[in-house]
Amino acid sequence: GAGVSQSPSNKVTEKGKDVELRCDPISGHTALYWYRQSLGQGLEFLIYFQGNSAPDKSGLPSDRFSAERTGGSVSTLTIQRTQQEDSAVYLCASSSSYNTGELFFGEGSRLTVL
Amino acid sequence: AQSVTQPDIHITVSEGASLELRCNYSYGATPYLFWYVQSPGQGLQLLLKYFSGDTLVQGIKGFEAEFKRSQSSFNLRKPSVHWSDAAEYFCAVGRSFGNEKLTFGTGTRLTIIP
């Protein structure tokens, strides 16, 4: 499809394991964002990629979280040594400089840490 | 730093009744303001946005919002709700074009009763 694609849609893991979440943005979109949605907490900004610029990592909650974007397209969010408080829905969004502010969101990856 | 407050966690309205969802923001300059909707099991979708000009903006699905600088508010309204409007609504504020690192509110869940 033409929208933002995220995988897996659901992930259950054990505390202490590493997980990788993937985001495939809309073709041609130069900006890519990761947000975390926890119950009652709204959307929390994690990281932002824009073209070839250094990513804005100011929202990453700890050094267990990292993300990369290869070839200016697909992005992977990695959480190392997962904790129960990492359980949330991780949302990816992309945008183009021509969209005047509109983020296009994927359906999210729901992470459950047991 | 910018922030967004949505004071109503949950609102219930009857089908056909009018709706107003409140949003207050904190930002030092002229903000870029957005309303997104998240229907069950779906990604967030942009309803409307305000950048400048006319303070009353029209969006999709019959929604509108009014920017009031004096009150730091950007409330969302609809004259007559439909059962399909049941969803979670998020207000967001951004700083500039080309960097849509939005700050979201905690959301308002809308329930529609027959």
B9, B43, B46 ranked by CB distance to A102: nearest: B46
pLDDT at B97 over 60: no
Distance CA B61, CA B40 (A): 17
Query: Which CATH number applies to B3-113: 3.30.365.10, 2.60.40.10, 3.50.50.60, 1.10.1740.10?
Result: 2.60.40.10
Rg over alpha carbons for chain B, rounded to the nearest Å, is 13
Q: Which amino acid is at B32?
A: Y
User: Chain A within 8 Å of B103 (Cβ-Cβ)?
Assistant: yes
Q: What are the chain A neighbours of B44 within 8 Å (beta carbons)?
A: 43, 91, 93, 103, 105
The overall average pLDDT reported for chain A is 91
Q: What is the rounded CA–CA span in Å between residue B94 and residue B54?
A: 18
User: Structurally, what CATH architecture does the domain formed by A5-103 represent?
Assistant: Sandwich (2.60)
Band (pLDDT 50/70/90 cuts) for residue A100 is: low
Q: Which positions ≥6 away from A39 have C-beta within 8 Å?
A: none
The 10s digit of each residue's pLDDT in B48-76 is: 999 888 889 999 999 999 999 999 999 99
For residue A68, what are its two tokens? Answer: 């990369």
What sign results for the dihedral spanned by CA atoms B18, B24, B30, B34? negative
Shortest CA distance from A37: residue in chain B: B106
Domain ranges of chain A: 5-103
pLDDT in tens, B10-39: 999 999 999 999 999 998 777 889 999 999
Query: pLDDT tens-digit profile of A28-87?
Result: 888 999 999 998 778 999 999 988 888 999 999 999 999 999 887 999 999 999 999 999
Find chain A residues with C-beta within 8 A of B100's C-beta: 31, 33, 95, 99, 101-103
Domain regions of chain B by residue span = 3-113
Q: Is the pLDDT of residue A7 over 80?
A: yes
